[in-house]
Amino acid sequence: MSVMKELFYPFSEAAVKALRAGDTVRISGLVYTGRDRLHKHLAEGGKCPVQLRDGAIFHCGPVTVRDGDGWRVAAAGPTTSIREEPYMASIIGKYGVRVVIGKGGMGKRTLDACRELGCVYLQAVGGAAALLAKRIRRVDGVDFLDEFGATEALWHLTLEGLETVVGMDAHGNSVYEEVRRDSEQRLRELIG
């Protein structure tokens, strides 16, 4: 069993490049949520209200509830990341994003951007939104709430110890591609 690695915000290029596909990683610090509307907005040249350089985008539409003058996250399940494939590579390049968190992996353009620009894709557990929310220590802010709605807004979250697996590393390796190749090989053997 591999040792759990730690990743802290701000996410340096060196820290990201030290990770390998398949590593287990506990991530802590500031991350920003982003789904379809935010990715499209950024890719089309819309203003970004936060500093994403050496930061993280979490493909997540958290379930938030008012808590006094602020917010609390009740559930934070990852969103299927492949939906952001048309936008992700350009956002990584333009904004200097070092970490993308989601579920299900991404495509070749994002994998190439991770390799070329020093970024990593972390796989969060799907179907455990309430459990993942326990790793969110606080909501630090929100942008685009009125424009995009709560699910699509850009939430500023401080995480502590969110456990993930490196799905795509900064060296061009992808556990999703490995599984695909292994499955095709096994299928050929079975069909023979």
Tell me the whole-structure pTM to 2 decimals.
0.94
Whichever domain contains 84, its CATH number is 3.20.130.10
Task: Please tell me the predicted confidence (pLDDT) of residue 182.
Answer: 73
Work out how many domains the chain is built from and give that number: 1
Tens of pLDDT, residue by residue over 4-41, are 999 999 999 999 999 999 999 999 999 999 999 999 99
* 171 noted as active-site residue: no
Tens of pLDDT, residue by residue over 117-162, are 999 999 999 889 999 999 999 999 999 999 999 999 999 999 999 9
Query: The domain containing residue 22 runs over which residues?
Result: 5-191
CB 135 within 8 A of CB 159: yes
Task: Please tell me the predicted confidence (pLDDT) of residue 1.
Answer: 58
Q: Choosing from 39, 41, 59, 156, which is the catalytic residue? A: 39
pLDDT bracket for residue 80 (50, 70, 90)? very high
Give the CA angle between residues 97, 99, 105 to the nearest 5°. 115
